[in-house]
Amino acid sequence: MHHSLVCRKIGGNMHLGKIIRVTPGGLADELGFVPGDQVLQVNGQSLRDIIDLSFAFAEESIELLVEHASGEQELVAFDKEYDEELGAEFASAVFDGIRCCANHCCFCFVDQVAPHMRDSLYVKDDDYRLSFLYGNFVTMTNMAEADFKRIQQYHLSPLFVSVHTMDMELRARMLDCEGAGRLLEQLDRLQAADVEYHTQVVLCPGLNDGAKLDQTIQALIQRRPYAQSLAIVPVGLTKYRDHCYPLTMFDSDGARQVIRQVEKWQKQQRDATGSSFIYLSDEFYFLAGEELPPAAAYDGFPQLDNGIGLARNFIEEWQQQSNGGTEGYAEPLFLDVVSGTSVAPLLRSLIGSLQVPNLQVRVLPVENLFFGSSVNVSGLLTGQDIGRALQAVTGPRHGVILPECALRAGENIFLDDVSLSDLCRTLDVRVETALSGADLWQLLTHWQYCHNVTNEENVYMWQGNAAYTKPVRRTTANE
């Protein structure tokens, strides 16, 4: 459509809403916006985040206050369709800075990160806006009256809440925060605002397990349907635990006991409501050496981004792809598939079922020397450990497939700041990444055609009418 424009320059200096990409042919492009411009206000309303931007931009007559890289500010007035999007991507979803955690949790993983790493790895975010936008879990201990009013005003639902225990005295001790004991009142406020929420428990042996876990499960069941789901994950410990609260990890017997305990509640809930409601992370099943629950037991995988049912979902995606045919290869093809130690047996089982002429696959479980061997998930592998493990094995190798979850979201950088490009140069072979079972199947069966390496940028896409996405981007070229 044609947009009527009125522009005038004004003074001042603010730092909000930085644009890093403009969609060609989109509204922002038509208005002349470029990367580096900052959107400060919409119709006179200052913007704290893309939530404010989305609701303010829903009008048909718009005045945007924009600051250019030169520091000059400009007021741009135009008309648009109600549902027309700006067509811009931002450096951050929150323009006024990420709200940090007010707790000192006895199980905090950030406190166990190696020293002298990049600053972003030490940020303890606890921001309800990122909870709504991207499913980040929050404790709500740093939230004020204005935050709950805003949640109600914009109906920011669902949220993702780190509960850990419904014993408020114990919760205050585990989080080392007096305000942590107000959770019941805060959940009541969410429910009064008609806001749903998913919950999480980081299970610590001797603290919030056993009878305390039963208490937590029962209390959250009573809050259904506002309480949508409960994820239970085992505490993770690294070798960098100096001056931290003394904790132990679950062994195979302990994991088995948790599975049996939770199964009783799951059966009760399925009989009563048709859904399990409570879900255990994959680590419990791997540690206990037990079969994963069937896909139906995950009720659509409501906490997949939290790693709940990730392995089962991976299997389902793999099996859906495996119904299709494959031509095989004219010449022998040798590929290495890298993984954490916990999921390696599953990958060997799936890949062992492949019948692809001339394909030879070696699954390489990588011991995590960086964080400690007790950390066995693929998502916490580092570039240096992967490189060491690959260089230690001999034999023919035409390519390597890495777990995409080991790379920083949207970037080709590992946790230890080793880049994917550096690893590719060291190995001197083609390297690809797989995020899903479908990705891995396609790479193994159509290696000559598939290119899954992700872009080097981490961006936040804003779309109109309160729709938000954090895109996964792929290129057709590899390193």
320 inside domain? no
In this structure, what token pair is assigned to residue 295?
């896909």
With a cut of 50, say whether residue 178 has pLDDT above it: yes
Which of 62, 90, 118 corresponds to the end of one domain?
90
| Structural domain boundaries enclosing 415 | 325-447
pLDDT for 200: 97
pLDDT for 453: 53
List % helix, strand, coil for the chain (3-state, nearest 5): 35, 20, 45
Q: Yes or no: say if 238 and 249 are a contact pair by the CB < 8 Å rule.
A: no
* Whole-number average pLDDT of the chain: 87
Contacts for 164 with CB less than 8 Å, ≥ 6 apart? 171, 174, 175, 200, 201, 202, 208, 216
Q: Name the pTM for this structure.
A: 0.85
Residues 361 and 439 in one domain: yes
With a cut of 70, say whether residue 472 has pLDDT above it: no
Single-letter code of the amino acid located at 19:
I
Residues 266 and 362 in one domain: no
Residues 83 and 147 in one domain: no
d(CA 161, CA 139): 6
Contacts for 64 with CB less than 8 Å, ≥ 6 apart? 31, 39, 41, 42, 75, 76, 77, 78
Residues 301 and 329 in one domain: no
Residues 121 and 80 in one domain: no
Number of domains making up the chain: 3
Among the listed residues 293, 329, 324, the one whose alpha carbon sits nearest the alpha carbon of residue 308: 293
Q: What is the average pLDDT across 419-448?
A: 92
pLDDT for 359: 96
Residues 230 and 118 in one domain: yes
Among the listed residues 157, 115, 4, 51, the one whose alpha carbon sits nearest the alpha carbon of residue 463: 51
Residues 337 and 418 in one domain: yes
Residue-wise pLDDT tens digits, 223-242: 999 999 999 999 988 888 87
Among the listed residues 222, 180, 238, the one whose alpha carbon sits nearest the alpha carbon of residue 370: 238
Residues 66 and 125 in one domain: no
Q: What is the average pLDDT across 78-85?
A: 88
Residues 410 and 337 in one domain: yes
Residues 148 and 74 in one domain: no
Residues 130 and 257 in one domain: yes
With a cut of 80, say whether residue 118 has pLDDT above it: no
Residues 208 and 165 in one domain: yes
Q: Yes or no: say if 479 and 431 are a contact pair by the CB < 8 Å rule.
A: yes
Residue-wise pLDDT tens digits, 121-130: 666 788 999 9
With a cut of 80, say whether residue 113 has pLDDT above it: no
pLDDT band at residue 91 using 50, 70 and 90 as cut-offs: confident
364 inside domain? yes
230 inside domain? yes
The beta-carbon contacts of 181-184 under 8 Å, at least 24 apart in sequence, are: 182/141, 183/140
